């Protein structure tokens, strides 16, 4: 067997933000991020109550306290971009699904939540509760959430289990020249 060392070159970038970056964020986008944070927090606390009342079978791994990172990072993605997640990914799933079903011009400060937004929350809850109205017919539960239409390739019960899926999906996006991120 022959062994040869390979040098892989990759361009890296460092991003640094400051207060001016925040000021450039349109008020509507900031409101969308805050809406996602509030929705995720309320959703997760509702799940904890439902679990305490034995309405959910199986484990429930909430993301209380992690809402901001998911909401802001997901809202920075384009509609065609894709994500995977680990066992604790309700926040990422909800944010990606909501950003998919809600129009980019939707303003939570002045507009009512469209029916598609309500349906997304109900279907996410249904999936976690094991109900047929869930995105995968209730088979995924808390740790196996998937919504291909929204770009959620799937979450995984194994910590870091989504990495190989993300790598394969990223290769496919690059190979096909889509310009989408994973």
Q: Pull the structure tokens for residue 22.
A: 């925040």
One digit per residue, pLDDT tens: the chain, 182 residues?
Answer: 899 988 888 888 898 989 998 899 999 999 999 999 999 999 999 999 999 999 999 999 999 999 999 999 999 999 999 999 999 999 999 999 999 999 999 999 999 999 999 999 999 999 999 999 999 999 999 999 999 999 999 999 998 999 999 999 999 999 999 999 99
pLDDT score at 15 = 87
Q: Which residues, 6 or more positions from 169, have their beta carbon under 8 angstroms from its beta carbon? A: 82, 84, 153, 182
Q: Pull the structure tokens for residue 150.
A: 């929204």
pLDDT score at 176 = 97
Domains detected in the chain: 26-175 (3.40.50.970)
Kindly state the DSSP code that residue 147 receives in the 8-state scheme: B
* Cα angle, residue 131 at apex, residues 38 and 104 outer, rounded to 5°: 40
pLDDT score at 109 = 95
pLDDT score at 169 = 98
C-alpha distances (whole Å) from 91 to each of 6, 31, 42, 60, 175 are: 39, 17, 11, 13, 29
Q: Pull the structure tokens for residue 48.
A: 């904890």
Residues forming a β-bridge with 83: 152
Q: Residue 63: name the closest of 131, 155, 147 by CA.
A: 155
pLDDT score at 9 = 87
pLDDT score at 26 = 93
Per DSSP, the three-state class of 91 is helix
**CA count, 13 A, side-chain hemisphere, 19:** 0
């Amino acid at each position: 067997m022959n062994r040869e060392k390979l040098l892989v070159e990759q361009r890296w970038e460092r991003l640094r933000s400051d207060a001016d970056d925040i000021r450039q964020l349109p008020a509507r986008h900031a409101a969308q991020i805050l809406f996602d944070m509030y929705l995720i927090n309320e959703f997760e606390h509702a799940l904890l109550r439902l679990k305490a009342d034995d309405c959910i079978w199986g484990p429930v791994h909430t993301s209380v306290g992690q809402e901001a990172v998911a909401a802001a990072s997901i809202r920075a993605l384009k509609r065609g971009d894709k994500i995977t997640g680990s066992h604790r990914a309700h926040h990422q799933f909800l944010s990606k699904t909501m950003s998919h079903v809600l129009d980019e011009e939707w303003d939570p400060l002045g507009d009512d939540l469209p029916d598609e937004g309500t349906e997304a929350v109900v279907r996410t809850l249904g999936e976690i509760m094991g109900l047929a109205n869930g995105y995968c017919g209730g088979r995924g539960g808390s740790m196996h959430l998937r919504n291909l239409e929204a770009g959620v390739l799937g979450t995984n019960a194994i910590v870091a289990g989504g990495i190989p899926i993300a790598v394969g999906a990223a290769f496919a996006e690059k190979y096909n020249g889509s310009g989408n991120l994973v």
